[in-house]
Amino acid sequence: MNRNSKPYIICHMASTVNGRIISVNWGNAEQRNKYSTLYEHCHNSFESQAWMVGRATLEKDFTKGSPPELIHPETPIGREAFVGDSNATSFVIGVDNKGKLGWKSNEIDGDHIILILTEDISDSHLHYLRRVGISYVFAGKNEVNFKVALEQIGSLFPIQTIMLEGGGHIKGSLLNEGLIDELSLLLLPVVDGTGGAPTTFEVSKYLSKTPTQSLKLIDTVKLIENVLWLKYSFIANQI
């Protein structure tokens, strides 16, 4: 691959009518499972090669808090991107610039793992990722620049479209950098008044805020369970 542009980014999310995204309060387990099934059905309708989530989602749902098993390498490791599986055709992209996630494999359900790192991560952690066979790219010295990361991913891997999923902070970061091309939103017939619960887009207070972005409605579909599926494109040159 030798492309000079980032992949197309579709933010795919389910939320309450007031924008909450934590599902624990959304009815009983049976009802939540119905929403989850709808979410996956809509996800599978897109032709994508990768899905992308933040560190907290990876830790909660996949690594379960396991720490990395670090061994210091015999020689220094340069800060260049590493491809752990050159034959992979489907991917999961995550962020772990602090080196907190411990892995037993280089894939999740057959999707090869690509991690976004910063250059201040330790050689021991890079050595660990190489041993496990996990791919990684660098997105800055000590702060993540998602534009840089996504352009590298687009040039190194056969990825044209990425489904941006949980959680609110990674989606807020990409929104803030103007990197999202399309929004696929399942609006659930639920109102969640839980105080402080995260919303679809959460921009860190430590980031310089960009202006509000405008959307163009592409499609509206009424699904079962009184769910509304909204599709929007992001209007260019809004930031």
Buried b (16+ CB within 10 A) or exposed e, 39-56: beebbeeeebbbbbbbbb
Q: State the pLDDT confidence band at 4, using cuts at 50, 70 and 90.
A: low
Q: What's residue 237's pLDDT?
A: 52
Rounded average pLDDT over 185-210: 86
Which token pair is 154? Answer: 């687009």
What mean pLDDT is predicted for residues 75-80?
96
In order of their start, the domains of the chain are 1-49+160-239 (3.40.430.10), 62-157 (no CATH)
Regarding pTM above 0.75, the answer is yes
Show the tokens assigned to 80. Answer: 């260049």
Look-up of token digits 């409605």: 217
pLDDT of residue 197: 83
Banded model confidence at residue 238, pLDDT cuts 50, 70, 90: very low
Residue 55 is predicted with a pLDDT of 92
Neighbours of 118 (CB within 10 A): 20
- Do residues 150 and 173 lie in contact, with contact meaning Cβ atoms separated by under 8 Å? no
What DSSP state is assigned to residue 12? E
Structure tokens at 60: 């909660």
Predicted pLDDT of residue 2:
47
Q: What is the mean pLDDT of residues 162-174?
A: 91
